[in-house]
A and B are shown apart, each in its own frame.
Chain A
């Protein structure tokens, strides 16, 4: 049985730059097959040079990626994706500007064979606060922001550093649990928004570095409370945006850990997986992971101060 297909919802109000970001992800797919589902074709013009073929329902994109429009039938479109051969590695749902992302995640959660990987909301650094005060859209925009696991603040180059800080503070006040990443022109580290990228780059490289993000591989060298570890990784203080990998429970059971912002999940994994968790976070903050790892293991069993070395 194949692993459930990860699904990321990309939301945010009109004009936030969802289209640009999706095109950027496609350009840097690096061998991953992405399936893009959009509410409406016209709203997501995949850059012309990426399009290989177009038929009524599906646009084929360079590198085995596809894009299809679901109109109002998201469930039907997801089923179609699951039946594609070869199967995509990751599904991105670009939701409409008025959609409530958690409702889309709710629908995804009903379907066997899919796993909601997280909600990434784009916010326009210049206009997001204004949209959040709009006569009609205020509550919708706020619901989108509070639904986010990761908020990508786009168009950061168009505002002053002070304005950017105040926007970030405001976003934090709306949604303290979300990780906030600043970008320009939708250029986000793919590993930061998509779980599949993280696993992919960890094994195959090259890693997509940006100015303020870094990736570490963290290898616990013995069994531990996997839920406690995942919870810790998801803590805001960890400085992590996402993490993915394997660890061994005290029972000896191999477990998969997946962390997106403050959201974490553990599930049973195959025994042949080697322990190791790929962590992506903000530069300078991730380095402290060793500290709390020691605390974690010292709280639960035979402490070994040398274990849990962080390697680059």
Chain B
């Protein structure tokens, strides 16, 4: 008979209403054998009692339904964000709140570099918190004029570069006429590059190329460390290219005994037809392992709201900007939905603007009539501007939603003031409406766009505070227990994994978030401050302190 370990804990929050809290959990073969009192668990026979969590609170391992493994890779670059943020090794980097502070940090990093030609890269700059101050190439030239420098903004849509980088990218010339390249009085680019078209030629010289989205082995390992630090045991890589070498590398890294999380990569629908994409994913599904759950598709309907590339219904953008861009044509999305429904492959669709959401709903409805699939659980990702009628439709169509709760904190003020205006800003990321209309819901960080940390994400959904401290959308707040459900079983449901993870009950994976504080006691206002000790994934223990 295989060994059984019984862990005692200060409290176990199970997310199973039949047994909401407990003091002991028994683990065998990496799975939960039983949860309850010691007396109840002893009925299963011989065991070893492990008291290491006796003063900890256990929750189901947290599930992040929308993140990108690229966050692991980005930490090799200089962090230039406005808010304090912890790196994979646990070092908390202070936010840089002025351009001078950013330049000082870059200079310090530059001084440590040995290869004189290597690029210096930074990430997560967000000047909207600094009165929208513009960064010029002259600013970055003060760090170095001889090595290329590039700083990616938090939105991912703007890149600041120095003169050397512009020169290497062939853009240090007069006569450029492109809306994404502002020119200075000298007729030369200022060093700000807007949008992927302008970023690409220079980006390759400063460490930001397309393949950055496929995290390498070290990036994936570092990403795993971030999971342990934040209590996450199941996490998505929401837009993977899944090239053959990338898949091999992910299989190898997640297969390492020490890899602490289950990674769920979604194949991006781009550069191949719907049929090719579905065929590829069906084949990939065969290669899925316990810790690399291949076999899902991500489609992108539109762009971003703050980039004014999201597709909006009437009356459009609050500041009068023209409507955004379609990334996938309705016919293509409809074809993908049909083929995926027939093949039993789940599709997650990025929709930001409410017109994009409407389009996805309009395409799924007839596809479902043609190809009924009673438990498809297709997910709308972000879905930030959906109104109540759209949520009701999602509910009827059996769709799930994964709302971008963190976005509300980081960019809510911007949306209120500029992009969508006060009324629609109130209803953005409408968690209350989703739950009230019966739409299964998760909430997400979209790391690296915002930091990974489900307790922070839960705090955002519960309090709906913006960065300036305003409560935006009182009505759409949800309760703490609803938010905790969203970051466990709710997210697991959107991945068709609610039978395996998301709650602590018999038969499920022994996946736990090990906490110093009790999130149900700490108070709604403090939810983001829940301290994480580490995780247990598949019965394997990962202490933050040992990483």
Contacts and interface: CB of A to CB of B under 8 A. Distances in A.
Contact of A96 (B180, B204, B329): B329
B218 to A, nearest CB: 23
A140 B270 CA distance: 19
A274 interface: no
A214 B331 CA distance: 38
B89 interface: no
Contacts of A42: 272-273, 275-276
Given A14-B329, A14-B332, A75 B271 contact: no
Nearest to B175: A109
Contacts of A106: 178-180, 197
Given A14-B329, A110-B197, A110-B198, A72 B210 contact: yes
A110 B275 contact: no
Nearest to B276: A42
A98 B270 contact: no
Interface residues of B, number: 35
Nearest to B177: A109
The residue among B311, B330, B362 with the most chain A CB atoms within 10 A of its own CB is B330
Contact of B178 (A96, A98, A110): A110
Contact of B201 (A41, A97, A111): A111
Contacts of B200: 73-76, 107
Contact of B326 (A72, A98, A107, A109): A98
B75 interface: no
Contact of A136 (B171, B180, B327, B330): B330
A14 B331 contact: yes
A210 B272 CA distance: 35
A39 to B, nearest CB: 7
Interface string B167-188: 0001100001111110000000
Interface residues on A, range: 20 to 34
Contact of B272 (A41, A109, A111, A139): A41
A43 B180 CA distance: 29
Contacts of A111: 170, 201
A187 interface: no
A129 B327 CA distance: 22
Contacts of A135: 362
Interface in B299-332: 311, 322-323, 325-332
Interface in A98-128: 98, 100, 103, 106-107, 109-112
A40 interface: yes
B323 A71 contact: no
B355 interface: yes
A110 B201 contact: yes
Interface string A120-155: 000000000000000111011000000000000000
A165 B204 CA distance: 49
Contacts of B38: none
B372 interface: no
A107 B273 CA distance: 24
Contacts of B180: 106
B270 A75 contact: no
Contacts of A43: 273
Interface string B209-228: 01000000000000000000
A4 to B, nearest CB: 13
Contacts of A71: 270-271
Contacts of B359: 136
Given A72-B196, A98-B327, A110-B201, A40 B178 contact: no
Nearest to A71: B271
Nearest to A75: B200
Interface string A58-73: 0000000000011111
A139 to B, nearest CB: 6
B212 to A, nearest CB: 12
Interface of A: 13-14, 39-43, 69-76, 96-98, 100, 103, 106-107, 109-112, 135-137, 139-140
7 contacts: A14-B329, A14-B331, A41-B276, A42-B276, A71-B270, A74-B197, A140-B325
Interface of B: 170-171, 176-181, 196-198, 200-201, 204, 210, 270-273, 275-276, 311, 322-323, 325-332, 355, 359, 362
Given A71-B271, A100-B325, 14 more contacts: A14-B329, A41-B273, A75-B201, A76-B210, A96-B329, A97-B329, A98-B325, A98-B327, A107-B197, A107-B198, A109-B178, A110-B198, A136-B311, A136-B355
